[in-house]
């Protein structure tokens, strides 16, 4: 009897979590759609019906239509093969990543996993101990000297930092070891002097190139999406609350002629610097593509990864972050997708623990 009761309680809890998860996604998508519709006009009834029908027929429930509305509003049409962001998070991510995606939040593991000099890591601070990139313990008295050897400023990033949060800029003169220890586990990284092309747009923050790679069932690694993130105005680093995003051609590295604000509204130039996007190319783009596809082979258990890269003034590619958890796919799906239509991710719902039958009202 106890086992049956526990099973029922567990099922109810999963249903409630599923309900709240999809409700939050629907609210987020609704907010984005409203902002797009204010600029472009209402989404047509025909497109709404196509999204609803596709969500039910392919993914099993209408609450998966929410992000399809947004994709259709951005693209101006409906396209089969799109993956709704809440489907990616609730079905694809658990099946194709499991707990392995969580390791991307543990920044001190970069040297052990990748053995790559493309990360600008200097030292890490983990559970009360400082380590260098060879995992040798560093005496606290030597930390300042190690961090600021040949540099005046560094950045400290907390484990699981994302969306531009959990990041501190530290300088030699005001460095306080006790305050840093109070922040939590994380990694010290050298600052990047970015390529002159990106300085044209926003010189105060380092532009990041988000590249999304996947590993197929046969072990093939490929790049599926790419966009550039620029800081806005005087931002010290790129933040999700204020960034500008420009789709990048995954074959050539060419900028799209339009970028997007945080409201998903189209612009043809950077709002602060007024530099136009059209005609620009990502420097050493082939190097960027080769690096992320090769590094993904080091963590094949997480089947889809978002990489944040920078290109410095010496045209070296630097890995700033990697996200193997719920990396963003919705912007790429809306502006470049469908990006994953050949992978048959829609079939994963049949063997998932997701409970899509709970009604969530739009």
Q: What is the pLDDT along the chain (362 residues), one digit of tens a residue?
A: 556 544 444 445 466 568 889 999 999 999 999 999 999 999 999 999 999 999 999 999 999 999 999 999 999 999 999 999 999 999 999 999 999 999 999 999 999 999 999 999 999 999 999 999 999 999 999 999 999 999 999 999 999 876 657 889 999 999 999 998 999 999 999 999 999 999 999 888 899 999 999 999 999 999 999 999 998 877 767 777 788 999 999 999 999 999 999 999 999 999 999 999 999 999 999 999 999 999 999 999 999 999 999 999 999 999 999 999 989 899 999 999 999 999 999 999 876 665 544 455 45
Nearest CA to 296 out of 217, 227, 210, 215 is that of 215
pTM of the model: 0.89
The reported pLDDT for the residue numbered 223 is: 98
| Number of other residues whose CB lies within 10 A of the CB of residue 229 | 21
The reported pLDDT for the residue numbered 247 is: 98
State how far the Cα of 67 lies from the Cα of 343, in Å rounded to an integer.
19
State how far the Cα of 264 lies from the Cα of 247, in Å rounded to an integer.
12
State how far the Cα of 83 lies from the Cα of 139, in Å rounded to an integer.
49
The reported pLDDT for the residue numbered 15 is: 64
State how far the Cα of 280 lies from the Cα of 313, in Å rounded to an integer.
17
């Amino acid at each position: 009897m106890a086992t049956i009761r526990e099973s029922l309680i567990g099922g109810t809890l999963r249903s409630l979590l599923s309900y709240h998860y999809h409700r939050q996604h629907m609210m987020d998508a609704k907010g984005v759609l409203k902002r797009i519709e204010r600029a472009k006009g209402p989404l047509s009834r025909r497109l709404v019906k196509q999204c609803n029908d596709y969500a039910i027929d392919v993914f099993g429930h209408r609450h998966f239509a929410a992000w399809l509305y947004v994709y259709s509003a951005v693209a101006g049409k409906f396209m089969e093969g799109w993956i709704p962001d809440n489907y990616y998070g609730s079905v694809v991510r658990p099946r194709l990543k499991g707990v392995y995606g969580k390791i991307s939040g543990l920044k001190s593991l970069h040297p052990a996993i990748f053995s790559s000099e493309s990360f600008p890591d200097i030292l890490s601070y983990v559970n009360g101990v400082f380590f260098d990139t060879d995992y040798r313990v560093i005496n606290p008295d030597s930390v300042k000297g190690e961090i600021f050897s040949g540099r005046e400023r560094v950045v400290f990033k907390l484990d699981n930092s994302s969306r531009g949060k959990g990041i501190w800029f530290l300088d030699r003169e005001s460095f306080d070891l006790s305050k840093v220890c109070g922040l939590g586990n994380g990694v010290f990284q050298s600052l990047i002097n970015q390529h002159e092309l990106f300085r044209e747009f926003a010189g105060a923050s380092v532009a990041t190139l988000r590249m999304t790679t996947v590993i197929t069932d046969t072990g093939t690694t490929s790049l599926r999406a790419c966009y550039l993130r620029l800081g806005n105005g005087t931002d010290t680093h790129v933040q999700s609350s204020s960034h500008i995003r420009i789709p990048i051609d995954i074959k050539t590295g060419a900028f799209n002629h339009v970028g997007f604000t945080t409201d998903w509204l189209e612009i043809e130039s950077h709002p602060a610097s007024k530099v136009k996007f059209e005609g620009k190319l990502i420097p050493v783009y082939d190097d960027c593509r080769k690096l992320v596809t090769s590094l993904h082979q080091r963590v094949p258990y997480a089947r889809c990864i978002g990489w944040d890269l920078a290109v410095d003034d010496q045209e070296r590619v630097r890995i700033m972050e990697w996200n193997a958890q719920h990396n963003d796919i919705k912007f790429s799906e809306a502006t470049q997708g469908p990006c994953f239509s050949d992978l048959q991710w829609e079939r994963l719902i049949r063997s998932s623990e997701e409970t899509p039958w709970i009604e969530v009202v739009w």
